[in-house]
């Protein structure tokens, strides 16, 4: 079972990915983690990607797509995978779909998590990330997943680990920019979502 997951920041893709991983025993793959793995490992693709990232430029598709395909062909993906955070544009969606086909990888489901922008912003600003596992849900405003207090500070409700906050999660301007990119139906992620809807492909 091969799945693409779409949704704005704060929509719960990571939480749902962890549930899918536990239930179906397939890896939940975050596109950002693939970049970090290549850059940290000093691979040729990673070195090229690092040059763009350090300049503040988007990594071009001829580097990004091979990274994604290579990851999806690893042994732990033989029974399926869930990929989130990619593709982020219509062009990337088309290129990814073609490369998956060429690699003999069938895409079974495309999932879109729909969430109001204001609710998404509130979720982002209140979430706290566990240093041990980003998929441990912690949120200062939701009683069901509220961090616990230990020795005068808040710690992860799941494992007791230290919690951190992403700097751009507290910057409303940065959040709005991320949302604008996601919801743009011409050049943003919604263009990729609409491509799969209009193509009549996997649902």
Q: Please name every residue paired with 30 in a beta bridge, in sequence order, or none if there are none.
A: 84
**Tokens 């062009």 belong to residue:** 91
Is 166 a residue of the active site? yes
State the architecture of 2-117 in CATH terms: 3-Layer(aba) Sandwich (3.40)
Active-site choice (22, 166, 177, 197): 166
E strand or H helix that includes residue 32 = helix 31-41
178 carries an active-site annotation: yes
pLDDT along the chain (203 residues), means of 10: 93 88 94 89 94 83 92 94 93 92 92 93 93 88 92 94 89 89 92 87 53
Catalytic residue list contains 36:
no
Confidence at residue 89, expressed as pLDDT on a 0 to 100 scale: 92
What's the pLDDT score for residue 66? 92
Catalytic annotation on 88?
Answer: yes
- Catalytic residue of the set 90, 123, 127, 128: 127
- The 3-state DSSP class for residue 175 equals helix
pTM: 0.80
Domains of the chain by residue range: 2-117
Q: Respond yes or no: is residue 127 known to be catalytic.
A: yes
Beta bridge partners of 82: 3, 28
């Amino acid at each position: 079972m091969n799945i693409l997951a779409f949704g704005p920041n704060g929509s719960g893709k990571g939480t749902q990915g962890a549930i899918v991983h536990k239930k179906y025993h397939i890896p939940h793959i975050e596109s950002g983690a693939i970049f970090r793995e290549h850059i940290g490992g000093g691979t040729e693709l990673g070195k090229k990607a690092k040059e763009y990232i350090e300049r503040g430029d988007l990594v071009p598709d001829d580097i990004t797509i091979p990274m994604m395909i290579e990851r999806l062909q690893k042994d732990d993906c033989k029974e399926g995978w869930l990929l989130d955070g990619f593709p982020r544009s219509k062009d990337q969606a088309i290129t990814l779909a073609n490369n998956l086909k060429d690699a003999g990888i069938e895409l079974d489901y495309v999932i879109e998590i729909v969430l109001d922008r204001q609710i998404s912003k509130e979720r982002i600003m209140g979430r706290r990330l566990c240093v041990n596992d980003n998929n441990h849900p912690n949120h200062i405003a939701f009683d069901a997943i509220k961090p616990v207090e230990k020795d005068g500070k808040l710690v992860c409700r799941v494992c007791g680990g230290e919690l951190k906050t992403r700097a751009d999660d507290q910057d409303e301007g940065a959040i709005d920019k991320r949302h604008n990119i996601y919801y743009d139906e011409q050049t943003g992620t919604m263009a990729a979502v609409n491509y799969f809807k209009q193509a009549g492909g996997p649902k």
